[in-house]
Structures are given as C-alpha cells and as structure tokens.
C-alpha cells in the first residue's frame, strides 16, 4: 500500500522519518517547558512563571508541539494498519521492539530515581512519567488485528462517519468542565459523567470510539483517501487547520497558567491541561494540519540518509532515555537564561545528546536493539 511518491530509493517512506524526528524534538520542547507549571510536591525541580511573557512562551511551545504524540500514533498507523502479516508474527515483532526496551528503561528509572518496584508489574514507574505512551501504544496494537479486516473494506464515507464520531469525543474534555461549572459536582463524584458513565461504569456510549484509536483511523484515512497536494495547496489547507487548533489549545491554557512560584497537587496540572489533552479538539485539528505538512517532507539524498534516517530509527530509544538527559540539562540552563532561551537550549541539547546516545547504543552487538529498540 506504499505509494511510489512516498518512498525513496531504499524503499522507506521518507516523510515518516522526518515526522518521527520532528515529533521526538517536540517531545523534548514540551518537557523542557513543563517544569514551569508542573512543579509538584517532592519534585526535583521547582521553578516559576515570572511574567505573562513567560506564560506566553510556554503556551506557544504547547500550541506548536502538542501534536507530537498523535503524530507518532499516525506514523504507526500509516505503516502497520491494516495488518499485512498474521497477528502472531505482528505481535512477536512488536513485543521484541517495544516491550523489552520499555522494561529495560522502566527498571533504569526506578533504580536511579527510586520508586515502587512492585508497581512495574502493573504500570509505568512514577519516575518515568513519559513512559505512559508505551502501554497506550501496546493497547492500540492489540486492537489492530481485530479491526484490520474492517479497515481493508471500509469505504471513504464509512471512515468519515467513524472519524466524525471520534471528533465528537474530542470535545468531551471541555464538556466535562462546562458541566461542572454550570451544575457543580454531580451526585456520584467529582468527575462529570457522560452518556452512561457512572461510578460503577466508566464505559459509556462513546468509550469505544474515543481516545487514541481515532489517530490510527486518521492515519489510515490519509493513506487511502487523501491525495498529496502541491506545497501551495497543502499550506493553504494545513496552516489554517494548525492555526485554528493552536488557538483552541492555547486559548484555555494561557489564561490559566499561574504567575507565581507554586507547589500544587498534581491534579491541578491535569486540570490546567484541559485544552491541551492529546485527544481534545484543538490538538486533533492541529495534528491533521501538521501531518499534511510533514507528509510533503519526502526528500531523499545525503541529508536523509546520513542524518534524518539514523535519528528516526533511534527515536524510540531517544524517547525512552531522554529524561536522564533532559533533567540535568534543564537544571544547568534554567538559572543561566531567560525562559525562552532556557527552553530552547534544553530542548535542542537534550534532543541531540539523547539521539546520539540512542544511536550509539543501538550499534552495540547483540544487545543494542534490545535496549533502544
């Protein structure tokens, strides 16, 4: 199902390499800005937003970079969905590439930063909060064999209907807050429940068409039914989508970012991130625009072969290990630079160093791929 235009001379889908590199850097940028509003009791770095210009800077980073995780999901969908191999072979390859490195780095985070060893049997470690991405991705892989036969036969109209239903669910983060603001806390708890949800049932009407699987369907839809446009037409369509999504992302975030030193319950940060949740409306809209633009980045040649492709192939390891690099790098740059420069320096340095480490580890005979995928 790979189109000729998508592939370079090596048979790779070149734009996915550029996409992974950009998405991985965006992760670093987000994590370099989070300490300014995500400081929690017991955290290793407690800093502050000193002015509204700081708040604006962090909001801009979130608006531009929040597309990172959905882009990773769409890349997986574009390559793997619907399945072209038997489910058993698919799972064996995914387990070797995804699960083993995840386990290795989970142990490393608990060993270095401390934490509950027993928890690793049930979830990612506290010290490796970014590792939440891996169990989520594995859940998507579990669904792919079930839905692949349908995806192969579904027409454009049918896919659009399911994507429209999913788009409705991206409004739920806002609906829940509006419900709470208008009617107060519901009688059964602090979280407003929607369409069948209640304390004893969290699987409401839209549960099975919500979440990250929408990005799997979106990647599949782009591959089958969205033709690649010229650069001019792509920018005319994609930039307004990204800008509109960014406005939704940033509008609710900027006004609510605190402007003082603080140590708050983690739930405060979760609530603060309402408009930047990965499966919320603004992010979904921005992701579609970003994907269209990155899809045009399909150039081959020396730069792709020597720089982009190696960094892309090592991106999973880079993601897994980068907090070991980013935290000390942030602690070094934060006192020396104003907020925008501190974020930029931290993101660039962490990305380069983490990528180099991952590339080097992957070259270790026998063990490298088990450590960094």
Please report, for the chain, the start and end positions of each structural domain, with discontinuous segments joined by +: 4-150+227-372
Pairwise CA distance, residues 75 & 78, whole Å:
5
Pairwise CA distance, residues 139 & 42, whole Å:
31
Bridge partners (DSSP) of residue 7 are 13
The residue ranges of the chain whose pLDDT is under 50 are: 1-9, 40-47, 188-190, 260-261, 263
Pairwise CA distance, residues 280 & 249, whole Å:
9
Q: Are 279 and 239 in contact (CB under 8 A)?
A: no
pLDDT at position 4, please?
A: 35
pLDDT at position 31, please?
A: 92
- CA dist list (Å): 362 to 27, 100, 154, 353, 367: 21, 14, 39, 14, 8
| Three-class SS state of 7 | strand
Q: Are 66 and 206 in contact (CB under 8 A)?
A: no
Q: CB burial class (10 A; 0-12, 13-18, 19+) of residue 83?
A: middle
Q: Are 320 and 355 in contact (CB under 8 A)?
A: no
Q: CB burial class (10 A; 0-12, 13-18, 19+) of residue 200?
A: exposed
pLDDT at position 93, please?
A: 84
Pairwise CA distance, residues 108 & 105, whole Å:
5
| Three-class SS state of 125 | coil
- CA dist list (Å): 249 to 93, 180, 278: 36, 20, 10
Q: CB burial class (10 A; 0-12, 13-18, 19+) of residue 156?
A: exposed
Which residues have CB under 8 Å from 330's CB, separation 6+?
32, 35, 45, 342, 346, 350
Q: CB burial class (10 A; 0-12, 13-18, 19+) of residue 149?
A: exposed
- Give the H or E element holding residue 180: helix 172-183
pLDDT at position 276, please?
A: 79
Q: Helix axis angle, 14-33 relative to 52-65, nearest 10°?
A: 160
């Amino acid at each position: 199902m790979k189109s000729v235009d998508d592939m370079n001379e090596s048979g790779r889908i070149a734009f996915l390499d550029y996409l992974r590199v950009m998405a991985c850097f965006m992760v670093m940028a987000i994590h370099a800005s989070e300490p300014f509003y995500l400081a929690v009791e017991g955290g290793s770095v407690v800093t502050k937003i000193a002015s509204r210009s700081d708040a604006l800077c962090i909001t801009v980073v979130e608006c531009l970079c929040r597309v990172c995780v959905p882009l990773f999901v769409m890349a997986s969908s574009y390559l793997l969905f619907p399945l072209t191999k038997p489910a058993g072979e698919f799972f064996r390859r995914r387990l070797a590439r995804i699960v083993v490195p995840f386990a290795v780095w989970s142990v490393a985070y608990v060993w270095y930063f401390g934490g509950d060893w027993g928890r690793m049997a049930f979830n990612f470690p506290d010290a490796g909060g970014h590792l939440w991405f891996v169990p989520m991705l594995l859940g998507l892989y579990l669904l792919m064999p079930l839905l692949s036969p349908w995806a192969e036969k579904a027409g454009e109209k049918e896919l659009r209907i399911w994507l429209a239903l999913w788009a409705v669910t991206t409004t739920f983060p806002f609906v829940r807050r509006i419900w709470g603001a208008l009617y107060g806390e519901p009688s059964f708890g602090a979280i407003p429940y929607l369409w069948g949800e209640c304390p004893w049932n969290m699987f409401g009407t839209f549960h099975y068409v919500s979440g990250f699987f929408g990005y799997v369907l979106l990647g599949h839809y782009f591959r089958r039914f969205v033709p690649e446009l010229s650069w001019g037409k792509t920018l005319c369509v994609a930039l307004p989508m990204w800008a509109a999504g960014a406005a939704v992302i940033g509008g609710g975030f900027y006004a609510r970012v605190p402007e003082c030193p603080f140590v708050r319950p983690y739930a405060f940060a979760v609530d603060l991130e309402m408009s930047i949740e990965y499966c919320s409306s603004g992010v979904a809209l921005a992701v579609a625009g970003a994907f269209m633009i990155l899809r045009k980045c399909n150039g081959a040649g020396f730069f792709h072969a020597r720089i982009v492709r190696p960094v892309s192939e090592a991106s999973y390891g880079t993601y897994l290990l980068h907090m070991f690099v980013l935290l000390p790098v942030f602690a070094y740059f934060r006192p020396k630079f104003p907020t925008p420069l501190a974020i930029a320096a931290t993101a660039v340095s962490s990305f380069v160093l983490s990528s180099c480490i991952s590339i080097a580890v992957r070259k270790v005979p026998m063990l490298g791929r088990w450590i960094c995928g």
